[in-house]
Structures are given as structure tokens and as C-alpha cells.
Structure 1
Amino acid sequence: MKFFTLPAAASAMAVLLGSAALAEPSGVVGFLMPDQASTRYEEHDFPGFKAEMDKLCPSCEVIYQNANADVALQQQQFNALLTQDAKVIVLDPVDSAAAAGLVTLAQAQGVKVIAYDRPIPATPADYYVSFDNEGIGYAIAKSLVEHLKASGVPDGAGVLQINGSPTDAAAGLIRDGIHRALKESPYKTLAEFDTPDWAPPKAQEWAAGQITRFGAEITGVVAANDGTGGGAVAAFKAAGVNPVPPVTGNDATIAALQLIISGDQYNTISKPSEIVAAAAANIAVTFLNGETPEAKTSLYDTPSELFVPAVVTKENIKAEIFDKGIQTPEQICTGEYAEGCKALGITQ
């Protein structure tokens, strides 16, 4: 039998305590995204979250699911994570109001909920991380207004406003930002539409009806994201309108960047989802460590971190997208967009 002297025993205990202090966190972490209408969740958000979790918590089990715009399916996915003893759930809700009940359920079981991209106004989550959605709405609309002024569009001219899903609180914030910018402008809103599930075909159908209704009175379109903006562009093209009035967007999708290069979309927002995803992973690991993440600001009584994105137009697309490595010419400058890329100095 081996005995330690008192100093040796104390030293051995110190080593054990030190090892415990350095022990890596572990556990099940859920990452629940809302829909597949946008390609960003599979292409950017989840890969960014998983990569950061792999660095910070290699022993954690990350479970990713997408609800495909189905509220009931997302509730099932959330409940399944609770039965799998998830310690933290990152939730981008299909329906911000319905998600309040999920937050209450999780918190009653000691599970932390990080609201992601879309806030949950009715019941504060444990943390909220996103880009500044109201700021996005203001920025894209303000950019369009300045462009219309510079193009000589007279005061009193009309624009269309295409919002996101009425069940998405983030869409409401984007809408509020657009309202603020348009209210400050000399232009009037001809008509406004909330796009169910952010579905581009629904935005296109509505825009087609407004083209029939207002015709040449439409001098621009403030669309809340690239999907709805792309729907508007498609409606103008189908109606034979040439050139297409300037249309806004948000998300810097490949399709939108190509439309900007071809001149069919005026702007978008560059907000690399990996930035917010990595922040969510850091917050999740802080919770796993039993610590409280620092609140950079607060929204809906929820400690929050909101990132500021960049507006992208033809003038700065090379600097913001290609020089920063967010996309490559090989991904964007294909086929009919090759000449446009050369004209903008993106390729030789």
C-alpha cells in the first residue's frame, strides 16, 4: 500500500483540482433553423456554428434540424432535444410568437435558449444574437432613396415595399427600419406586402399584381431580403419591363450578387452568417461552462449582441464580397455574368 506524506497529498489534490478546472465542457447542443426558402442555413449558418463548436467544445454533440417553415415540426424538434437532455438550444423560430412557449418550457427544465437571428419578443430567451435587423431595413431603404435622388427621380414618386413573413419578429424589425427610411424620404409607398414564409413565389405573384396596377408609377422596390427581391425582379422581367426599377435585397445570396452584377438588383446586405453563428457557439459554450455571457445590448428585455452589416451595390461589390473572400469569382462570375464581372474589375 502506498501512502502520501501530507505535502505530497496536497500536491496530488492540487493536480486533480487543476484538471477538473480545465475540464472541457460537454453535452448536447441543438441548432434549430426555420426554413429552406433561403439557402443560408445549410450553406453558412450551420457550417459556421459547427466549425466553432468543434473548436470550443469537441466533446459536445451538436444536433442540427430545419423546420422547413412548419411551426408544428419545429415544436417537435425542440421537444425532441429536451428529451435528449440538450443543455443549450439555439433557436431561429418559424413563428416568433409560438416560440415563447418553447422558451418557457426549456427554462423550466434548466435548459438555456439562445434566440438566433429572429427575436422572441413575448418571453425573453437567455440570450439573443443577430445582425441589427431594424438597421438592415433602414440601410437598404436609405440606400435606395439616395440612389433614386441621384438618378433624378422626382419627389412624390412611388415605391413598393415587400416585407418578410408576418410571423417573423425579425421581419417586423426590418419592416420598421424600412418605414423609418421611407418616412424620411420624399417618396411615397404605393403598396406594401407581408410575404408569407418569406416565399419568393408569393412575393413575385404580389409584385406582378402591382405592376399591372401601377405600371410606370413604380420607380423602385424595397424588398426585405434577396428572395423577395428576386421575386420582384422576376415579376418585372415577366411583364417585359426594361430596365427593371432598382430593387433592394438582404443576405448577399449568390443569385442576388449575380443580379447586382447584371444590373437587375440594386443592393443587398452582406452579413456573413458565420459571424453570428460563431458568436452563438461562443455563447452556448459560456452557458455550458455555467457562466453568464456578456450582454452587449438588450432587445425585448433579452441580453443581446447585434452585429452591423454592410450594404452592397455595384460600386463596392468587389471590395465587400470578393476582396474579403466572402465569395469567389469562380462561384459568381459564370455564364452570362462573366462580362459584368470584367466590367466591375472582379475578374480580368
Structure 2
Amino acid sequence: MTEQPLDRAARIGRRFDTLFAEYFDTLGATLDAPSFSRFTPDCVGLLRDLSLRGGKRMRVVLLHEAARLVRDDAPSEALDAAALSVELLQTHGLVHDDLIDDSATRRGGPTIYYAYRKRFPEDPRAALGLTVLAGDLALALSLRVLLDSGLPIGVRQAMVEIQTRAAADTFVGQIADLERDFADPVPDVEVLHDVADHKSARYSVLAPMRLGLLAAGVEPGAHEDELRRYARLVGICGQMRDDWLDLFGTEETTGKPTGGDIREGRRSYAVTRLLATVTGPERATVEAALGDRSCPPDTIAEIRDIGERHGVASLLEADMRLHADRARLVAEGWRGRWRAEAVDFFERVPMWSVERTG
């Protein structure tokens, strides 16, 4: 019986969780840290805890499924090295995102920034510096794990190039993300799309797919245009869903307090749509809360009610579904060229992104 896509994704995720734990268990022995250092193993422990705490491993699944587009027996060493690199880069992003956002919780536990703040309550500079360095270490490890692999040198170099470019694109996206929030009036939707593409799509979708094809022995550059098109659309869906959940979701499903975009003054998809829709006293309520880090939960709930009353939640969901269908059509065009079972998976991914609850 053919394994169902979600069952296959869950199996890939479970196997990777074991691999990731084993990686961190041996990392201390491979890091060339001074023997007296207590901070280094503590940093590795915090990275380990964050990395293994939850997460759906969808980037790892995309990597494996991209390889399966070509063959069902891609070398496990290539897939494992690429998967570790992808998730270490993700850990780097989480550490720095939480620092930029001053977030206290991530995946139901403390962020690395707040863990360090607790360790150094009288020295905020040390907490800040160690958080930055923890994120930097995760980034370096995401490249080193490829360099340390036993893969042929050409494959290693190609994978490192993919990850280095993905990281650079993501940093540019983060800069543009902060710049977007200074826009007055609210930014154009194409600005939001470009930010989503650079900030998340290129490292979360495009890079794993490139790495998967490379692990299967296929040069991804030959398919660059369609991979970029698909990744951009899926990335937009995912960012829209993140923004929707931040305002219209619940802390129980997301693992962090709602209303973060309002408090941080972010011109997210949800906030931008809200500002473009409401007027009068309701708009004044939104504008007064925007950027107020002490904005109470009751006000966030009131803004959520305003958004639901004016159909902002449903309008944004309709936009998600529109982009998800466009992404599905791109994947549908792969039929006849690539393996049908894997194409089925990529046709379903966009709607999964729209329907997820956390």
C-alpha cells in the first residue's frame, strides 16, 4: 500500500528528530572550545533545547520530497547533511528573530534571549551579546555540517553555496522587513510579497528543494524559474498564515501570545489589510495600539473583533487560498517529467500551509 503524504512527512520528521539529537550529542566533542569555557557548552545546550523543542520539520520534508521528484533512493548521507544544515539555519533565524522582536517564548518554552536574561539579570549587555553569538554559532554550524560531511567535494561546495545564498537573502529580507514598518502610509501588497519571498520563501522552500534535487543528482539550476515561482507563492501563503494567526489565532495553538505584530508596530498582511479596511474610531483604536509594546490583551481582543466584524480575517484567508492555488498549478506542471507521487505532495503543500493552526 502506498504511504500517505502526511504519514510519510511524519515519518521523515521523526527520523530527523533522532538525527538532530544525535548531532547535538556529539557536537561538544567537535567544537574547538577552550577547556575552561563554561559558556560554550551552555550555549550549545540552549541551541539544542530550542532546536529539538517542537517544529514540524517541513523544510526537511520538502528536502526529501524534492529528492523523491527524481528518485526514491537518494543517498541518505547527502539528505542528512542537507537536512541538518537547513534546520540549523532555521535555529539561527529563530534566535535572532526572537531577539529583534523581544519575544519571551518560542515553541512553548523560553527564547534563548530570555534564557540569557534570566542567567544575567544584572548584565543585559552580556545577555544581548551571548544571544547574538548563539545565533551566529548556529549559522556557522549550518555551513560546517556540510563541509564536514563525506560528500563529494563538488556536491559539498554546491550545497554550501545554496545555503550561503539563502542566508544572505534572508538577512536582506529581515532588513526589508524592518524597513517596511516605517512605511507611511501602509505598504503596497507587492512590498509585502517581496519581503515574504526574501525573508522566508528562499530559505524555507527554495533552498530545501534545491538541496533535495542536488542530493538526488540533479542540477537544480536547470529548473530555477519554476522552483522560484513555486517557492515564492508558498512563502507568501505561509507568511499570510503567520500574520493571520498572530491576530486571529490563539496562544494555545501558536505557542506564543497573539498580537505581537500590533505591539511591535509591524505592517504585516493582517495589519495592512486592517488599516486599509477600517475607518473612524475603529481605525483610531488600531493606530493607537500599533507600536505600543504594553498594549493589553483586552485591546488586542478588541482589534481582533474589529477585524472579524469587517471581514478582514476571511478576506485574508481568501488571498491565501488564491496564492495556494497558483502554487498548486505550478506543481501540477511537473507531471509527466517528475515522479507522480512526489508531485502529488508538492501540489498539496500550499493548502497545508493555509490550513495549519500553528
Give the TM-score normalised by the residue count of structure 1: 0.30
Give the TM-score normalised by the residue count of structure 2: 0.30
Q: Report the structure number with the largest CA radius of gyration.
A: 1
Report which of the two has the higher share of helix: 2
Report which of the two has the higher share of strand: 1
